Structure 1
Amino acid sequence: MGTCCELLSSPSLPVVVCIFLYSSTHIGIMKVIGIYIKDINIDLRTTPTDIGVALGLLNTFSFITAPVGIALFRCHSIRRPLVISGACLPAVGVAMASMATSNGQVAICLSVTGIGIGILKASCVMTLHRVAGENYNLYFSLGFSGYGFGMVLLPLLAESLRAPYGWRGGLLVIGALIAHIIPCAVGMKVDLDGNSTQKREVHLSTASGPSTTDSEGKEEQVIRCQSAKGGNFDQSEFGVFRKIANGFRQSDFYTDPIFNVVFGVSFTYYMIHCGWHSFLVPHILRRGVSVQNTLILTFAAALGNTFSRVIVGVLTNNWFTSVDVYIVTTTLNIVALLVDVYFANYYVMLVTSCVSAMSIGGRGVVGTLVIRDRASPDQFDVAFAAEKLISGLGMFLGGYLGGVLADHFASYNATFKMLPAIEGVNFILIMILRCNPKRSTNSE
């Protein structure tokens, strides 16, 4: 109860609500395209590969724009326009997609939607990182529980709009509803107070340590020696090179080589994320399941997704490490995917889809927590940006390969056979992190 009261009275609340809304939009649009896929095929003559590319671009741009969003977010003067523009683009992209006349236009419109989601994601996560404090894990998981709601509410709405308005009218109405993110984004407090800035500067100066001062002193001696010898030496160029070299040597990428395995974990995870979410509904419909039963199945998956995101925040906030939770959820998904592939029964699919949604949804939260736990506090934004860039590439590859395999074998079952293999690689990478924990600064 105390935590709930603290959330309601803290500046984290608008950020959590904004994360909830854009996450429900992100996953909901993917499911809506799955509901409308037959109508889109008839109208635009799309193939599974075309749909895979379009959804892959949606997911890719929602991730690869994160580094740009974080870089722009560092400029205080443009934070407010940045957040508002990020909130506007998803609604604009979906509305434009309703008027598309070719597969290329659909892909471009969904890319615009992804760009907006990526900008908003970067702004929200960085803001929450600064204001959430000790309850970051819980607030973060509560915000991303919106994925579960988007999995069921938007497909239900899309199905009810298809009969009177068709797929174009349905997308247009959904695009208008997505615009509710805009007033929520306007209410976010994206500016840092003076105390937070001072604390960050003190932490950075402390983190540099005596070793950095010694190395800089030695390099200054080298400069003076070279100048005394009368050689042509550009001190300004050496200073820039020195700053870059020192920055890299002090970064987690250099001081903690195992930290780089995190990006392999994210790459393979998001291949699975995009492949599963993009082709779940077509996979179910191709097996002869009715639209009504398909919606029931997505509802079960949505419950699993929402439950897992909330429970992961609670577990990692007090009891278990994020890496251990990641390992358990990965194992569950491998089992669920294998059962789904080899047992084509509706009730079995009901259970496996719920378990897979729990695993994928939970890791969507835990993955960021793994990075935040492993990275240095002052370098989290850089690590987050690099991870989202890598994840975006994984998203595109997952959607593209899923569509190509479905085209080649004329079955979405082939796509779902690919996913356990990728999960196996993901499991090996996360075990490497588990066996090589972060070294304590004190022990060094």
Structure 2
Amino acid sequence: MGCFYEILTSRSLPVVVCFFLKASCHVGIIKTIGIYLEDINISLGTTSTDIGIALGLLNAFSNFPAPIIAALYRHHSIRRLLLIFGTCLASMGVALTSMANSNAQMSIYLSITGLGYCMVHICCTMTLHHVAQNFNLLFSISLTGYGVGMFLLPLIAEFLRQAYGWRGGLLIISALMAHIIPVGMAVKLESDESSTQRNGFQSVPSSPPEFNKEEESNISTSKDTEDDDRDVSGVFRRITNDLRQSDFYVDPVFNVLFGVTLASHMVWSGWHSFLVPHALQRGISIRNTIIITFSAAVGNTFGRAAVGVLTNSLVKPVTLFLFVTILNIAALLCDVYFNNFYAMLVTSCISAMAVGAEAVLGQLVVRNRASPEKFDVVYAAALIFIGSGGFLVAI
């Protein structure tokens, strides 16, 4: 209880709430598009493939720009602006989607939403990483928003569809999503004053008193030569040195981790994107489909929360990852052979618990192996593989 009291009274609480809302809206908009799928097809003349590509771009832009966002986050002066701008883009993209008149427009607007989610994700994760204390628990609680959004937003979407249609429903949902903006403004992103490193570069000590003008002239000439060399081959040499000093080169296990991340998020994205259409194609009513999403939401929330509690002090993330992977395989096999409503109710809950836990555990494993000062680079690379998994499934 003392640990939860510390969370509720800590300055990290706005970060957790902002991350929670981002997670809820991210998965919620995917489910909402699934609810509105038939109406969108009739209105815009789209196919399931077109919607799949649009959702794939949403997932891609939620992850692919991560290295650029991580590099921008190193500049302390724009961190707060980056977070607030991301919260605005997320809700604005959904509002624009409600006004789309073609497949291309829908894809572009959902990509804008994804870019906003990427900004919020990187800013919140890096902020929690710098806090360090109880990271596993804080990170897992933040990501329980996926389970809440999985159930709550489709329920709201179906209610709004009956009254306002898919366009009005998306517009109102975008207004609800805009509540993340004031939460993002409440997050305090302070620079690390005690660090000797600023924006990724170490400060250079001043020259000693006996430093004479001749030496200064020689160094100046040498610097000019280095500048010329940098223009030709210095850039490539610097990239080579950065790669050799990176965690990827020093610890080849990261290559295996990224491969596992790609595979697990192909399963994650496919399951999230097609749970609702899969249930509807089996002839299950919309009412029962919403009940299934509620069951999945409960499992997803429980799985993510359990990961935070267990990995905080009891179990290693790698061990728990292997267990939930086996559990997910068993649940998916059962779903293939038992296609009635009650069986799907149980298997969706178990699968949601497993994929939710895997999504958190994969990122915790990466953090545990990465060097603390290079975590942003490694995490951004991991998000590229996460986005690749989602995009490959969608197309």
TM score, norm. by length of structure 1? 0.80
* Residue in structure 1 matched with residue 247 of structure 2 by the alignment: 252
1:234 Cα deviation after fit: 8.6
Root-mean-square deviation (CA, aligned residues, Å) is 2.0
SS in 1 for 2:62: helix
CA distance in 2: counterparts of 1:134 and 1:170, whole angstroms: 40
CA 1:336 to 1:77, structure 2 compared with 1: closer, same or farther past 3 Å? same
Aligned to 2:122: 122
Q: Distance in 1 between matches of 2:182 and 2:384?
A: 28
Aligned residue number for residue 212 of structure 1: none
Residue 341, structure 1, aligned to residue 343, structure 2: no
* 2:373 aligned residue (370, 378, 382): 378
Q: Which amino acid aligns with 2:246?
A: S
Aligned equivalent of 1:19 = 19
Distance in 2, Cα, partners of 1:172 & 1:284: 26
Residue of structure 1 equivalent to 2:216? none
Please tell me whether residue 290 in structure 1 is matched to residue 285 in structure 2.
Answer: yes
Assess, with a 3 A threshold, how the Cα gap between structure 1 residues 281 and 76 changes in structure 2: closer, same or farther: same
Any residues of structure 2 matched to 1:362-377 within 5 Å, and which?
362-377=357-372
Per the alignment, residue 79 of structure 2 pairs with 79
Q: Share of identical aligned residues, percent?
A: 57
* CA–CA separation in structure 2 for the residues paired with 1:248 and 1:109: 35
Q: Which runs of structure 2 are paired with 1:10-409 in the superposition (5 Å)?
A: 10-131=10-131, 133-195=132-194, 197-198=195-196, 236-237=229-230, 243-400=238-395
User: Any residues of structure 2 matched to 1:397-436 within 5 Å, and which?
Assistant: 397-400=392-395
Aligned residue in 2 for 1:9:
9
How many angstroms apart in 2 are the aligned matches of 1:264 and 1:382?
Answer: 17
Helix, strand or coil at the partner of 1:194: coil
1:173/1:241 Cα in 2 relative to 1: closer, same or farther (>3 Å)?
A: closer
Kindly state the Cα deviation for residue 250 of structure 1 after the two structures are TM-superposed.
2.5
SS at match of 2:284: coil
Structure 1 residue 80, shift from structure 2 partner: 1.6
Q: CA shift at 1:161, angstroms? A: 0.6
1:235 positional shift: 8.8
Query: Aligned-pair distance for 1:336?
Result: 0.9
Unpaired runs of at least 5, structure 2: 203-221
**Pairwise CA distance, 1:335:** 1.0
* Cα contact 1:271–1:399 (8 A) shared by 2: no
The alpha carbon displacement at 1:233 in A equals 9.4
The SS at the match of 2:134 is helix
> Offset of 1:243 from its aligned partner?
4.7
Q: Deviations over 1:383-436 (max 9, x none)?
A: 001111122122110111xxxxxxxxxxxxxxxxxxxxxxxxxxxxxxxxxxxx
CA distance in 2, matches of 1:294, 1:139: 31
Could you tell me which amino acid in structure 1 is paired with residue 182 of structure 2?
A: P
* Counterpart contact for 1:271–1:398, Cα < 8 Å: yes
Q: CA deviation at 1:192?
A: 2.1
Q: Which amino acid aligns with 1:332?
A: L
- Deviating more after overlay: 100-109 vs 277-286: 100-109
Task: Report the counterpart of residue 208 of structure 1 in structure 2.
Answer: none
Shift of 1:9: 2.4
Q: 1:119 to 1:235 in 2, by over 3 A?
A: same
2:91 partner letter: A
| SS across alignment from 1:63 | coil
Within 2, Cα distance between the matches of 1:390 and 1:274?
12
In 2, the alpha carbon distance for the partners of 1:187 and 1:367 equals 29
Distance in 2 (alpha carbons) for counterparts of 1:170 and 1:234: 57
Counterpart amino acid of 2:331?
A: A
Which amino acid counterpart does residue 157 of structure 2 have in structure 1? A
Deviations 1:287-311 (A, max 9, x none): 1111111111100000000000000
For the residues of structure 1 that align with 2:27 and 2:161, how far apart are their CA atoms? 19
Distance 1:345 1:74, change over 3 A: same
Which residue of structure 2 lines up, in the alignment, with residue 210 of structure 1?
none
**Could you list the per-position Cα deviations for residues 334-390 of structure 1 after superposition, in whole angstroms to 9, with x for gaps in the alignment?**
111111112111111001100110011111111110100111111111100111112
- Residue 245 of structure 1: CA displacement? 3.9
- Return the offset for 1:8: 2.0
Number of residue-to-residue matches in the alignment:
371
